[in-house]
Amino acid sequence: MRVQLHGTAEKWLKEYIDSFRDENGGLHPLMEVKRTHSLRVRDNASQIASELGWSGEQLDCALTAALLHDTGRFPQFAEWGTYYDGASLDHGDLGEKTLMEHFPDEKVATYGRWEDILLAVRLHNKKELPAGITPAAAPLVQIVRDSDKLDVFRLVRMHVEEDRINELLPRIIPSGGYSEALVREVSSERRASYSNVRSLSDFLLVQLSWVFDLNYAPSFRMLRRDGVLSWMERVLPQDASVNGFIQSALHHALLGESA
**Residues binding Fe ion (CB under 5 A):** 70, 125
Rounded to the nearest whole angstrom, what is the least distance from the CB of residue 19 to Fe ion in the complex?
19
CA distances from 119 to 93, 97, 145 (A): 9, 11, 12
Return the amino acid letter for 251.
H
Closest-CA residue to 253 (of 220, 222, 217): 220
**CB nearer to Fe ion: pick between 125 and 199:** 125
- 37-69 burial by CB neighbour count: b if 16+ within 10 A, else e? bbebbbbbbbebbeebebeebbbbbbbbbbbbb
Is the Cα dihedral 149, 38, 10, 46 positive or negative?
Answer: negative
**CB nearer to Fe ion: pick between 122 and 157:** 122
**CB nearer to Fe ion: pick between 40 and 224:** 40
Rounded to the nearest whole angstrom, what is the least distance from the CB of residue 76 to Fe ion in the complex?
10
The helix, strand and coil proportions of the chain, stated in percent and rounded to the nearest 5, come to: 70, 0, 30
Closest-CA residue to 118 (of 150, 88, 144): 144
Burial (CB < 10 A; 0-12, 13-18, 19+), residue 30, is middle
Rounded to the nearest whole angstrom, what is the least distance from the CB of residue 255 to Fe ion in the complex?
27
Closest-CA residue to 80 (of 92, 72, 71, 69): 72
Rounded to the nearest whole angstrom, what is the least distance from the CB of residue 17 to Fe ion in the complex?
15
**CB nearer to Fe ion: pick between 70 and 96:** 70
**CB nearer to Fe ion: pick between 60 and 70:** 70
Rg (CA), the chain: 18
Rounded to the nearest whole angstrom, what is the least distance from the CB of residue 124 to Fe ion in the complex?
6
Q: Which residue is nearest to Fe ion (CB)?
A: 70
Rounded to the nearest whole angstrom, what is the least distance from the CB of residue 92 to Fe ion in the complex?
7
**CB nearer to Fe ion: pick between 57 and 85:** 85
Rounded to the nearest whole angstrom, what is the least distance from the CB of residue 72 to Fe ion in the complex?
7
**CB nearer to Fe ion: pick between 144 and 182:** 144
